[in-house]
Amino acid sequence: MTYVEPLARQVRQDGTMPSADAVQERRLRDLAGLFADRDAEARLLAHDPLVYRVFEAAALPKEDGHLLFSTTVIESGRVGDEYFMTKGHFHARADRAELYYGLGGRGMLLLQTPEGRYEALDMVAGTAAYVPPYWGHRTVNTGEEPFVFLAAYPADAGYDYGTIARDGFAALVVASPDGPRLIANPAYRPTPSDDAR
Ligand code: S6P
Ligand code: ZN
């Protein structure tokens, strides 16, 4: 048995990974409280639509220096004016970077520092996007088709979902007559870091 062949996974054009080691399905109830328009969220919860799936190549070596990779397929849809999006996270080991590669559809990568500085990048098929160390990240489907991308990240990066669940994300992407618009999130409240307390 070769070493490298078992580490490969097939990624279909639509982002699905039939040989994924794990598949996460995130429905609206899994994102409860993350969308700005709570009334729209409550109305949609009756149907609890599928928002996104993550196909993970996770059964890879975990020792220092290895990478994991996954595909994310975000459905097209909105909660009020806000587009379907991922929960968003910092890495548990916050200094771990990541690379995204657009496979299909249209979306935005939102990035924020722990202090709340934010940036956004449009992504389409073929966009390679860099998530620098220490930047929290969330992806948003701004198109009419599923937004699909591949992510590669250090095996020890881990997930900190708590910070964004508690503080919110510094920026929102909302639909407007001129198309997707990036706005500062009025409800965003960064928790001071230990150093600043
Ligand atoms: C992992 C990487 C992606 C996300 C995926 C779902 O570091 O950034 O695989 O896990 O896009 O987003 P989230 O915020 O629900 O993990
Ligand atoms: Zn990540």
* Domain locations along the chain: 22-184
Proportion of the chain above pLDDT 70, given as a percent? 98
User: According to the model, what pLDDT value does residue 197 have?
Assistant: 44
Ligand 1 pocket list (CB less than 6 A): 54, 70, 72, 86-89, 98, 137, 139, 151, 153, 157, 159
**Local confidence band at 40 (pLDDT 50, 70, 90 cut-offs):** very high
Q: Is 193's pLDDT higher than 90?
A: no
- For residue 132, report the distance from its CA to the centre of ligand 2, in Å: 10
Nearest CA to ligand 1 atom 14: 88
Neighbouring residues of 105: CB distance < 8 A, sequence distance ≥ 6: 74, 76, 124, 125, 141, 143, 145, 146, 147, 148
Helices (H), the chain: 38-45, 162-167
Q: Is 192's pLDDT higher than 70?
A: yes
May I ask the CATH class of domain 22-184?
Answer: mainly beta
**Average pLDDT, integer, range 53-63:** 89
- For residue 21, report the distance from its CA to the centre of ligand 1, in Å: 15
Tokens of 47: 């149907």
| DSSP strand pairing (67-74 vs 50-57) | antiparallel
Which segment of 61-70, 84-93, 113-122, 136-145 scores lowest on mean pLDDT?
Answer: 61-70
**Average pLDDT, integer, range 58-86:** 94
Q: Is 132's pLDDT higher than 90?
A: yes
User: According to the model, what pLDDT value does residue 59 have?
Assistant: 87
User: According to the model, what pLDDT value does residue 194 have?
Assistant: 65
Nearest CA to ligand 1 atom 12: 86
Can you give the pTM of this predicted structure? Answer: 0.96
CA of 52, closest atom in ligand 1: 6
**Average pLDDT, integer, range 159-186:** 98
